[in-house]
Chains A and B, each alone.
Chain A
Amino acid sequence: MALQDFLPALPPSAGPLVLFGLILLAGLIGGEVARRALALPKITGYVLIGLVLGPAGIDWLDHSLVEATDAILDFAVGLVLFELGQRLDLRWLRRDRWLAVTGIAEAGLSFACMYFVLIWFGTEPLFAAFAAAIGMATSPAVVLLVAKEMKAEGQVTERALCLTAMNGLVAFITVTLLTSLVHIEYKAGFVVALFHPAYLLFGSALLGYIAARLAIAGAWLLGKREERQFALLVALLVLTVGAAEALKLSVLVALLTFGILARNLDPRHRLMSVSTGNAGQIFYVVLFVVMGAGLQPGELATGGLMAIVFVLSRFAGKSLGVMLFAPLSRLRRGSAGMLSLALVPMSGMALVLAQGPGNLYPEFSAKLSAVVLSAAMILELIGPLAVQFALRHAGETAVMPDARYGSAAV
């Protein structure tokens, strides 16, 4: 037996597990450096370390390595959307119609602002609509993670999550519908143009519905035991993500629907409110590092100015919607501004969305990328800061332990 039979080839090829571990470690280091040295949110640290390791930096975490983590990433995205979906309480929207109106106005007005600004700058309408649709979505991962990290509780936090779920749903549906226009643009034929979006929307929603029904029925069988229900949910999450991919459906729509329905189709509360806790955290870290690696600062040169205009018009639209209607839904004065700020992040989901038609028509994706990716880049870096600022100034974050010596007078 020769040495080369049992010794690894040099250099040894890193399997997905090694890669996962390395990305996680890098994220942890980035997060801690950001928190301690730069006083930035940890999420910004994850993104920055990804940027440094990715093609824009030392080019270690390149496209082929990222592909190796695809399965993990898909699960991470699924987890985020499921958690977000569970934060959308339809009964609340029914009791407080103005909150529902706020959600629709905020998404609609930001779409309009982005769309017309892009048109005004001479962008083709279809492309402008696509970019605006993607821009409607607030990054669920950022809002959820910042809220969790800061232990935020209160009206701004709850409403930000609720509106994020709503604008995510609206954005995903709009993007899917626009896909049919892209098909027409690229002369794919009428049947494809009609059938593909319909298949995506209804198929994904149906998948989410089945998963939610299974979760609730399974929870009923398992009883109220958190550890068992946790295992059940993880199993169903992995299965749903896998099924969505295998069936070429939208992971985003399927998992968001799963989350929303799991919460709202369960009047007897069979499904416990299971916390994904530290285990969930791991996937978030990897997700943000890889998103950071996907950022392309090079695009800023071409898309930079447009992206800034895009970002500003997006913020203007969202703020206008929130400022107009949030007071009617009884948000305290001053909180509406904080709520607008909390909706600022736009991120990795935009990349996923942009890739949708991109996979079918690469040239379309190339056109789309400059502005949208530059905007995502800007917002991914300032988004966590905005959310942190908003929740802190709304007074909803946990105060640091107030145990100090001496000042008690007695």
Chain B
Amino acid sequence: MEALRFSPSEPLTMGVELELQILNNRDCNLTRGAADLLALVEKKPHPGDIKPEITESMVEISTSIHRSHGALLDELLGIRDAMRDAAERLNLRIAGGGTHPFQRWSDQRIFPKPRFHYLSELYGYLAKQFTVFGQHIHIGCPDGDAAMYLVHGMSRYIPHFIALAASSPFYQGADTLFDSSRLNVVNAFPLSGYMPFVETWDDFNGYFENMQGFGIVESMKDFYWDIRPKPEFGTIEIRVCDTPLTVERAALLAAYAQTLARYLLHERPVKPCVDLYRVYGYNRFLACRFGLDGNIIDAATREQRLLKTDILETLRLTAHHAAELDTTAPLAQLRALTDEGRNDSAWLRRVYAESGSLSDVVRAQSDAWTAEVRKGRETPRRMAV
């Protein structure tokens, strides 16, 4: 067995992957459209990369590598527009959001590709239940050891990302009372959760070889951790975010991750220790369930405080790093959103309260994504910009 090599990348560069929903135009249920959509969208040059996902009603878009929030947002907007044009020709809709509010998992169809069929055979119904939609944020790291530190350091802030991105209050036709119900689906997988407590790249390699030796994993792809190193890209990958309702919010979250990463790598404020992971699972639950209004337990100070307060405090602490990275403006938006205590889940619940129909919720979700929001309705875009 060969040791995993961490190919270094330019520190603090970033890239984003978003899993998106493909809907029909009648009742806005998920529909089989990935193959047709991909075939059409690939006929014209477009920015970024668009790929199939495990079921036929999902696609994944990914950006190239960026240094700045502005360029990242531009690319995301470009991909979004290319997809919207193709979808319109096929009478399909595209939407963000961490879950589809009323799809039935058993209706989903596995995309015809060997790896997806393999996963479906291995995981049974979990594979179809995995029709949930997340945002992955990659942050470039100079070397494997820095990546290890960054994974542990970021784990302190995982609740921030969960609450700020939460957009999956409804699942299988009901309000779950969670702000992010999507992560509960991820929890069912045996290799989900967090990376074991190893502090150097050599130690990580030892762990990986062990797992390979047991025959449990073949590659890093088999780990479904909340944050994982991605040695072939030279990045760490934050995977807890729901796909937000707009690309604007997706870009804000990336800017926040980039700024936090600089703060962590330059100041090393979080001391990696086992205590971090003693509070981890509970903090994660609180963020999923209560969003910005939940509490967070700080392992270092043993203090409980409102998650919202913790985010605002972190934004203050990282302000000069934001200035260095030119993310001051997007983080000011994020501060405003946090201050008002509103995330996409809150918006979706309001739409449902107004209309009383989950079909209408998805339609609004899709209108928000393509920025065609009906007059008079408060937009998540406005919330995000």
Contacts and interface: CB of A to CB of B under 8 A. Distances in A.
B216 interface: yes
A402 B110 contact: yes
Nearest to A403: B124
A399 B109 CA distance: 7
Interface residues of A, number: 30
B230 to A, nearest CB: 22
Contact of B122 (A153, A155, A410): A410
A330 B90 contact: yes
A302 interface: no
B346 interface: no
B89 A223 contact: no
Given A153-B32, A224-B357, A273-B359, A96 B89 contact: yes
Interface in B37-63: 39-40, 43
Contact of B27 (A158, A272, A399, A403): A272
A272 B359 CA distance: 8
Given A223-B356, A273-B359, A398-B109, A158 B91 contact: yes
A273 B27 contact: yes
A269 B120 contact: no
B122 A408 contact: yes
B89 A329 contact: yes
Interface residues of B, number: 34
Contacts of A155: 33, 36, 90
Interface string A81-107: 000001001011001100000000000
Interface string B346-359: 00000000011101
A154 interface: yes
Interface in B1-37: 24-27, 31-33, 35-36
A269 B356 CA distance: 12
A272 B357 CA distance: 9
A62 interface: no
A395 interface: yes
A154 B120 contact: no
Interface string A154-197: 11001000000000000000000000000000000000000000
A404 interface: yes
Contacts of A92: 25, 91
A330 B27 CA distance: 23
In this complex, the member of A158, A223, A403 whose beta carbon has the largest number of chain B beta carbons within 10 angstroms is A158
A410 B215 contact: yes
A90 to B, nearest CB: 11
B360 interface: yes
A408 B121 contact: yes
Contacts of A223: 356
A404 B122 CA distance: 10
Interface in A374-410: 395-396, 398-399, 402-404, 407-410
A332 B36 contact: yes
Contacts of B112: 395
B262 interface: no
Contacts of A272: 27, 357, 359
A191 to B, nearest CB: 44
B313 interface: no
Given A269-B360, A399-B109, A402-B121, A224 B89 contact: no
A35 B123 CA distance: 32
A255 B89 CA distance: 28
A153 B31 CA distance: 7
Contacts of A273: 26-27, 359
Given A269-B359, A410-B122, A330 B89 contact: yes
Contacts of B117: 402
Contacts of B35: 332, 395
B363 interface: yes
B88 interface: yes
Contact of B91 (A89, A269, A404, A410): A89
Interface in A332-391: 332
A387 to B, nearest CB: 17
A207 B184 CA distance: 51
Nearest to B123: A408
A92 B25 CA distance: 9
Contacts of A404: 121
B36 A410 contact: no
Given A224-B355, A402-B110, A410-B122, A154 B36 contact: yes
A371 B120 CA distance: 52
A408 B43 CA distance: 36
Contact of B32 (A154, A329, A330, A407): A154
Interface in A99-150: none
Given A155-B36, A395-B35, A89 B25 contact: yes
Nearest to B355: A224
**Max chain A C-beta neighbours (<10 A), residue from B25, B26, B112:** B26
A154 B215 CA distance: 39
A355 to B, nearest CB: 33
B181 to A, nearest CB: 22
Interface string A232-272: 00000000000000000000000000000000000001001
A226 to B, nearest CB: 9
Contacts of A269: 357, 359-360, 363
Contacts of A399: 109-110
Nearest to B106: A401
Nearest to A401: B106
B216 A410 contact: yes
A330 B216 CA distance: 44
A408 to B, nearest CB: 4
B95 to A, nearest CB: 15
Contacts of B32: 153-154, 396
A407 B359 CA distance: 38
Contacts of B363: 269
Contacts of A396: 32
Nearest to B112: A395
A85 to B, nearest CB: 13
A314 to B, nearest CB: 27
B80 to A, nearest CB: 17
Nearest to B215: A410
A95 B370 CA distance: 16
Contacts of B118: 408-409
B260 to A, nearest CB: 36
A402 B121 CA distance: 8
A154 to B, nearest CB: 5
29 contacts: A89-B26, A91-B25, A92-B91, A95-B88, A151-B107, A153-B24, A153-B32, A154-B36, A158-B24, A224-B355, A224-B357, A224-B360, A269-B357, A272-B359, A273-B26, A273-B27, A330-B40, A332-B35, A332-B40, A395-B35, A395-B112, A398-B107, A398-B109, A399-B110, A402-B117, A407-B121, A408-B121, A410-B122, A410-B216
**Which 7 A/B pairs are nearest by Cβ-Cβ distance?**
A273-B27, A224-B357, A153-B32, A92-B91, A408-B122, A224-B356, A408-B121
Given A154-B33, A402-B117, A408-B118, 12 more contacts: A92-B25, A153-B31, A153-B33, A223-B356, A224-B359, A273-B359, A329-B89, A330-B43, A395-B112, A398-B107, A404-B121, A410-B122
